[in-house]
Amino acid sequence: MLLSEVREDQEPTGSRVSPDAGAPAACDDGQVPLTVLIVDDHSRFRSFARALLEAEGFDVVGEAEDAESAIAAVSRLHPQVVLLDIQLPDIDGFEVAERLAQEPDSPAVVLVSTRDISSYRRRLAGSPARGFIPKGELTGSALFALVS
């Protein structure tokens, strides 16, 4: 099942793993997997993203459901990558990306949303985030391409 087939209020029943799963971040060739923090206010998306990214060789070190807990988790866990939903209940993902960019050793931030990139094009241009992935197109290789 593709994530684009999963509504926010629906439990995903599976995940799609690309043919090159594990290739970018796999540790079987001596590389250390990239560490990721997943930030989204929907627990079902966080579970889906965790399963997909772990299956593709990433080390998901934590999850957060809002901006304030995401900022605290970054300080505590020091992930290399933050997969960050744009629409959070307290502060939007663009503001979180700005705050994280001010930190020493700031992680690479990749924004995600159920909305199309056209909804955010102007704000993305001025954002310190590495890029944007629509939630329905999330794969390990897409994430790796933006952070490597």
Q: Does any domain span residue 70?
A: yes
pLDDT mean across residues, the chain: 84
Report the share of the chain in percent with pLDDT over 90: 74
pLDDT at position 31 is 76
Residues 6 or more apart whose CB falls under 8 angstroms from that of 128 comprise: 97, 98, 100, 101, 106, 109
C-beta atoms surrounding 126 within 10 Å: 9
CA distance 79 to 136: 23
Task: Flag whether pLDDT at 27 surpasses 80.
Answer: no
Who's near 30: CB < 8 A, 6+ residues apart? none
- Residue 49 · residue 137 · CB < 8 Å: no
CATH code, domain with 75:
3.40.50.2300
Three-state DSSP string of 10-67:
CCCCCCCCCCCCCCCCCCCCCCCCCEEEEECCCHHHHHHHHHHHHHCCCEEEEEECCH
In a domain, 65, yes or no: yes
* Domains contained in the chain, number: 1
Cα(106)–Cα(83) distance, rounded to whole angstroms? Answer: 13
For residue 101, give its domain range: 30-147
Does 7 fall in a domain? no
Residue 24 belongs to a domain: no
Check whether 23 has a pLDDT greater than 70: no
Q: Across residues 95-118, what is the average pLDDT? A: 95
Q: Could you give the angle at which helices 140-147 and 43-55 cross, rounded to 10 degrees?
A: 80
Domain-embedded: residue 61: yes
Please name the helix (run of DSSP H) or strand (run of DSSP E) that holds residue 82, with its range, or none: strand 81-85
pTM: 0.81
pLDDT digits (tens, 9 = 90+) for 108-124: 999 999 999 988 999 99
